Amino acid sequence: MLENVRRERRIRAIAFPQMTLVRPVVIDGVGLHSGAPIHMVLHPMEADRGVVFRRTDLVAQGREVSDIRATFGNVVSTTLSTEIGNAAGATVSTVEHLMSALSALGIDNLLVEIDGPEVPVLDGSSEIFLEKIEAAGIEKLDAPRKAIRILKPVVVEDGQKRAALLPGEGFRVAFEIDFDNPVIGHQSIEADLHDPFFAEDILRARTFCLRRDIEAMWAVGLAKGGSLDNAVVVDNDHVMNEDGLRYEDEFVRHKVLDAVGDLALSGLPLIGRYEGSRAGHAMNNRVLRALMADPSAYEVVDFAEARRPAPMARELAISAD
C-alpha cells in the first residue's frame, strides 16, 4: 500500500497537466502564533488560478479585501513564519507548511477559505495536510502545467546567512544549519522534491525552538498557540517532547520543509536547485524576489521541459567536453 502511495506521489510530482483537489478538505486547529482556533476549508479551483487564500471572516467586505494570492510579492512579514497580505491589509500567516504539502503533491490551483489570520499549525509539520489532501483525492485539469526554469545562479547573503537558486534538473534542496546548542549543532541534508520518499523524509519534520527563546516570543505576541504537541522544544542538552525526535536531524529537515513552502510562492514549480545556509523565511523570500527581478535568470516553460537540461547547463556540458 505504501509503495502505491509513493508511486502516485511521483506521478503527481512530474505530472504535466495542472492539478487541483477532487473534493473539499476541512481542517481545524489552532494558530501557532495567534493561539486562536481556526477553521479552514480547501476547495478545488479551475486551471490557471493558482493558490488563493480567502478570509471568510472578511468576505462580506468583498473579494478585494478577503482574497490573497499566494505569491512571493504578497509576502508582508517573515518573522518566525511567512505571512502574505493584500492591498486592503488582510493577511494570512504561517502559510509555509500548507504550501510545502501542495508543492510536494503537485497541486497548482486551490481556494483556501480560512476564518482567521493564520493557518492551523496542527502537529507542526506538513504531514496532516498531506494525509487529508491525499484522502480527498487529486484531480488533473485540462490545462498544461508551466514551470520556472532557473537559467543562472542567483545568490543573496546576509552575514553568515546564504540562499541560492541555481540551474539544475528537477528540483533539489540542500540546506545546512549551525546552532550553538549541543542537541542541534551543525546539520546538513539534501533532498529531491520529486522523490516519492520526500513526504516521509521531509514533510513529517516538525517546527522547533529553544526553550530559552519562548518568553521573548511571548513578549512580542508570538507562539501563543505553541506546545509540545505542535513543536519540538530543546532545553539546553535535551529535547523536552516525551516521544523525542522523529529523526536525528529533524531540525534541518524542517528547514527544508519551510524552504519548499516559501519557494512555492513563486506561483509555478521551480526547475533547478536551492541551497540554503543558516537561512530562514526572510532569505527564502529575498532569493525568490531576486530571481524574479532578473528576467535573464529564468524562463517559463512547459513542465515537460523539466526533463531537458537548461540552456546554460547544456552550454556548460559542451564546454566541459
Nearest to 117 by CA among 99, 90, 89, 82: 90
Q: Which helix (H) or strand (E) holds 298?
A: strand 298-302
Q: Which three cell numbers stand for residue 283?
A: 532569505
Whole-angstrom distance, CA of residue 73 vs CA of residue 14: 26
**Catalytic residue chosen out of the listed positions 97, 194, 254, 281:** 281
Give the number of residues written for the chain: 321
Whole-angstrom distance, CA of residue 201 vs CA of residue 181: 23
Whole-angstrom distance, CA of residue 294 vs CA of residue 309: 20
Place of cell 497548482: 108
Whole-angstrom distance, CA of residue 92 vs CA of residue 82: 9
* 3 state DSSP class of 293: coil
Nearest to 125 by CA among 234, 260, 276, 282: 260
Q: Is 281 a catalytic residue?
A: yes
Whole-angstrom distance, CA of residue 264 vs CA of residue 102: 8
N-terminal to C-terminal alpha carbon distance within the chain: 45
Pairing, β 146-150 against β 298-302: antiparallel
Nearest to 246 by CA among 217, 208, 273: 208
CA distances from 102 to 110, 111, 171 (A): 9, 12, 15
Residues tagged active-site: 281
